[in-house]
Amino acid sequence: MTRHTLFRCAVCLTALLAANANAQTLKVERLQLKNGLTVLALEDRSLPTVAYYTLFRVGSRNERPGITGLSHLFEHMMFNGSAKYPPKSFDRIIEAGGGYSNAFTTPDTTEYYEEFSSTTLDQVLRLEADRMRALRLDTQNLEQERSIVKEERRVGYDNSVEGGMYETLWNNAFVAHPYRWLPIGFMGDLNAIRLEDARDYFRTYYAPNNAVVAVVGDFDTKQLFAKMRRYFESIPRQKPPRPVVNSEPPQRGEKRILFHRAAELPAVMIAYRGVSFRHADDPALNLLALILSHGQSARLYRRLVYEKQIAAAVNATNDSRIDPGLFTFYAQAQPSHTAAECEAEIYAVLEEIQRNGVTERELQKAKNVVRAGYVDNFKTNFGRAGLLTGYQANWGDWRRYADYLPRHDRVTTADIQRVARRCFTDRTRTVVTLVPQRNAQSGEAPR
């Protein structure tokens, strides 16, 4: 290692430690409005910008058969005007302030965010309050966004081999829990959603008592809280949504699905029952996923891509959620190799960890990746706002963000081996194998 490289490493480490120190000392102030809306404020005058972030406690797990995809559809509808602001006003005002807005839907939450110049803050507060109070919900808005979401479904799942495999995996791994469908929803349900469904959903899940707002950046907290009271406190509280019941029964045997699609190469997806992100073993599973597939020195990449040369791609993911999710694997075979070969080698890697564990070096490397990703959140107003709303909504207290690194730092190699033995059992395994279909006329795989 050269002196120049050593210097760069020292600079990076210093910056990382400084950011980590800042991460532990966020000076957040909290306002609870009478209607139940929680507001978190973090002043940072270093730049004349603000991030405004709203998390609604609603995702695809709150849906039911017949309205799957409604949470994601609603994400789109939220940008199409309100009682006081016509369509396109939202983007026009924020972009005029040098900013942008976006949103995303997960199985557990729907989250909206904007970043803009601090002089635009008052306008954004009025916009946000009006769409929380009186979103424009009419047939035109619904049909416009329905067509867009249906096209997203066609592109991402109906006409995507990997997307179709992923959906099939979740559809079959669960039998009772709403995690069995994805946020995109089923096409039949997207066609069937009515305007009354959307209005009921808005009234129930977009109420102030079902939301958390974080504002981070260049503002005065006392003035911000006064404006939040002025614009938001008169929005009526609604009856709390009905809790989601986790009625998923234990899985008592392996499930196998053959997935026939036009494709060049075979592939396999494997899922094991996982845990909630609140579970004590979740940090160990996060680290194990990194040990298995983060970077070219990871165990799966080294074994399947470099040494055996049977896979073109391989990865592992711990998809933990409010309720227990899945620990998943994906491998695409190289030409002249099979999905069965890839599957067998994945199991061989897992069995080796179950027998012999992992090394301290592998574990420390994974912890370094976790730390770097965590500290990254504190570099921007947006990152901090998302972190604060997530912990307030999902853990009940924004201060719980400070537990994230200690939870991972406490994980030992023995913990990794223990969770591998507990999690990776064929009784809780679901396997989707891609069977490439040939073109009926030419006998060739379609290109």
CATH of the domain at 398: 3.30.830.10
Any domain includes 266: yes
| 326 shares its domain with 206 | no
Asked if 221 and 264 sit in the same domain, the reply is: no
Neighbours of 148 (CB within 10 A): 12
192 and 305 inside one domain: no
Asked if 211 and 281 sit in the same domain, the reply is no
Q: Domain residues for 73?
A: 26-232
CB contact burial 200-220 (16+ within 10 A = b; e otherwise) = ebbebbbbbbbbbbbbbbbbe
CB 385 within 8 A of CB 215: yes
Q: With respect to residue 194, please indicate whether it lies within any of the assigned structural domains.
A: yes
**Rounded Cα distance, 445 and 39, in Å:** 55
Residues 52 and 90 in one domain: yes
Whether residues 176 and 33 fall in one domain: yes
Q: Quick check: is 444 in a domain?
A: no
**pLDDT tens sequence across 202-249:** 999 999 999 999 999 999 999 999 999 999 999 999 999 999 999 999
Tell me the pTM: 0.91
Tell me whether residue 15 is in a domain: no
- Give yes or no: residues 166 and 205 share one domain: yes
Considering 200, 232, 264, which residue would you say is the last residue of a domain?
232
* Dist. CA 115–CA 44, nearest whole Å: 14
Residue 392 has a pLDDT of 98
> Does residue 13 lie in a domain region?
no
At 47, which amino acid appears?
L
Is there a contact between 385 and 214 (Cβ–Cβ < 8 Å)?
yes
Alpha-carbon distance of 53 to 407, in angstroms, equals: 26
Within 10 A of 325 (CB to CB), how many other CB atoms are there? Answer: 26
The reply to whether 44 and 126 lie within a common domain is yes
Question: What parts of the chain have a pLDDT lower than 70?
Answer: 1-24, 439-447
Residue 270 sits in the same domain as residue 414: yes
Task: Please tell me the total count of domains within the chain.
Answer: 2
Structural domain includes residue 263: yes
* Whether 139 and 261 share a structural domain: no
User: How high is the pLDDT of residue 439?
Assistant: 55
Say what the pLDDT of residue 362 is: 98
Through-space distance between the first and last CA atoms of the chain, rounded to whole angstroms: 46
**Tokens standing for residue 88:** 């396109």
Are 172 and 204 in contact by the 8 Å Cβ rule? The answer is no
What is the reported pLDDT for 203? 95
Cα dihedral 332/333/339/340 (nearest 10): -130
Task: Determine the longest span between alpha carbons in the chain, in angstroms.
Answer: 71
**Inter-residue long-range contacts of 335-340, CB under 8 Å, 24+ positions, other chains counted:** 335/265, 337/266, 337/310, 337/311, 338/266, 339/266, 339/267, 339/268, 339/433, 339/434, 340/268, 340/433
Cα(183)–Cα(175) distance, rounded to whole angstroms?
Answer: 16
Residues 281 and 189 in one domain: no
Query: And the tokens for 224?
Result: 């911000």
> Does 387 map to a domain?
yes
Domain closes at, from 169, 197, 232: 232
Answer whether residue 199 is part of any domain.
Answer: yes
CB atoms closer than 10 angstroms to residue 2? 7
The pLDDT of residue 440:
42
Answer yes or no: do 45 and 146 share one domain: yes
